[in-house]
């Protein structure tokens, strides 16, 4: 069955009130025991609650005009999934604040940008930005959970939280895109311009706030510059975390692109079946990790 046919046959589900034990002990440098890798992912994650609230509002702006009942149902579940992601990531943000991280600087940056984009750009362009951001979040599963080594030395609670988020981002990856194409009628040029905008935005966000978090951790300017250089290599070097997935990223610029042309990760069903059987997102996250290559 093609990915599109598989998607058409399945209804999107929102899972609610998930517990990852975020109230308990969490290591400061939870990823590979590496300050720069942990704080780079933390900087991205800290942006999620307010970023995702913006995605919801951009999609919601076209709900009234949407007539296809399947797409309407998907918008509803998309909003519920993103709402749950916001709740869990806000909890993690609180833990980052307790570690001394300047999370509110990121929250302010995101909200200032959201307000600027909403004020100065059309609602079509804001939706195109959302679809481009959603292409990035849909890649999280492929980036972090296809190869076992990527998550081998990650804290199990945070790994399970990322697994759940990555799985749901993959499930709803086409919702904003379909609204953008079918309802907002955004053309090729605007779609590509929005993706360029998002690539620049995410580069600025991660560089600026990884540096800020490492400063909050007490590292000197020299130490931070060295770490930032290493993190660029980790992302973009040979077999880098991002450079290995540039094909998936840049496919977005193909004229006939649709998110369902890209396969779901091979271990997706391990997460879903374990969650359905146990109702436990920690076990589901572990199953996804164990089933990685």
Instruction: List the x/- string, 155-194, binding to Fe ion by CB under 5 A.
Output: --------------x-------------------------
Nearer to Fe ion, 205 or 227 (CB): 205
Nearest distance from C-beta of residue 82 to Fe ion, angstroms: 5
Nearer to Fe ion, 35 or 86 (CB): 86
Q: Which stretch binds Fe ion (CB under 5 A): 48-56, 110-118, 240-248, 263-271?
A: 48-56
* Spatial distance between the Cα atoms of 284 and 142, rounded to a whole number of angstroms: 16
- Phi first, then psi: give them for residue 152, nearest 5 degrees: -60, -35
Alpha carbon of 73 to those of 13, 61, 80, 213: distances in Å?
10, 15, 11, 39
Instruction: List the x/- string, 1-40, binding to Fe ion by CB under 5 A.
Output: ----------------------------------------
Nearer to Fe ion, 82 or 217 (CB): 82
CA proximity to 88, closest of 133, 48, 116: 48
Q: Kindly identify the residues of this chain, within the stretch 248-287, that bind Fe ion according to CB under 5 A.
A: none
Nearer to Fe ion, 157 or 224 (CB): 157
Are 156 and 286 within 8 A, CB to CB? yes
Are 86 and 48 within 8 A, CB to CB? yes
Nearer to Fe ion, 169 or 286 (CB): 169
Q: Where are the alpha helices (H) located in the chain, listed in sequence order?
A: 3-9, 35-46, 48-60, 69-98, 103-120, 123-145, 156-171, 175-178, 188-216, 221-236, 246-250, 268-278, 281-290
Nearest distance from C-beta of residue 5 to Fe ion, angstroms: 22
Nearer to Fe ion, 44 or 214 (CB): 44
Q: Which stretch binds Fe ion (CB under 5 A): 128-136, 217-225, 243-251, 264-272?
A: 128-136
Alpha carbon of 64 to those of 60, 78, 144, 199: distances in Å?
8, 16, 36, 30
Nearest distance from C-beta of residue 213 to Fe ion, angstroms: 21
Are 123 and 64 within 8 A, CB to CB? no
Nearest distance from C-beta of residue 126 to Fe ion, angstroms: 15
Nearer to Fe ion, 82 or 178 (CB): 82
Binding residue for Fe ion (CB under 5 A) from 85, 135, 159, 212?
85
Cα 226 from chain centre: 26
* Spatial distance between the Cα atoms of 223 and 239, rounded to a whole number of angstroms: 24
For Fe ion, the binding residues (CB under 5 A) are 52, 82, 85, 134, 137, 169
């Amino acid at each position: 069955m093609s990915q599109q046919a598989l998607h058409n046959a399945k209804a999107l589900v929102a899972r609610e009130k998930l517990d990852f034990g975020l109230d308990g002990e969490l290591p400061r440098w939870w990823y590979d025991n590496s300050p720069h890798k942990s704080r780079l992912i933390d900087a991205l994650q800290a942006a999620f609650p307010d970023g995702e609230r913006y995605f919801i509002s951009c999609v919601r702006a076209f709900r009234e005009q949407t007539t296809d009942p399947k797409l309407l149902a998907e918008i509803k579940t998309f909003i519920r999934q993103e709402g749950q992601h916001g709740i869990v990531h806000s909890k993690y943000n609180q833990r980052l604040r307790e570690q001394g991280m300047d999370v509110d600087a990121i929250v302010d940056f995101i909200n200032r940008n959201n307000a600027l984009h909403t004020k100065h750009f059309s609602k079509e362009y804001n939706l195109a930005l959302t679809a481009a951001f959603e292409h990035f979040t849909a890649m999280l599963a492929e980036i972090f959970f296809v190869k076992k080594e990527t998550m081998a030395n990650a804290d199990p609670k945070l790994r399970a939280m990322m697994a759940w988020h990555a799985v749901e981002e993959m499930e709803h990856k086409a919702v904003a895109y379909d609204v953008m194409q079918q309802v907002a009628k955004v053309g090729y040029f605007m779609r590509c311009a929005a993706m360029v905008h998002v690539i620049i935005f995410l580069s600025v966000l991660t560089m600026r706030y990884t540096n800020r978090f490492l400063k909050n951790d007490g590292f000197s300017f020299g130490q931070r510059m060295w770490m930032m250089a290493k993190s660029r290599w980790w992302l973009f070097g040979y077999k880098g975390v991002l450079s290995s997935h540039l094909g998936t990223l840049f496919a977005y610029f193909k004229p006939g692109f649709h998110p369902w042309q890209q396969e779901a990760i091979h271990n997706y069903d391990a997460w879903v079946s374990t969650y359905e059987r146990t109702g436990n997102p920690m076990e589901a996250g572990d199953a996804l990790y164990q089933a990685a290559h």
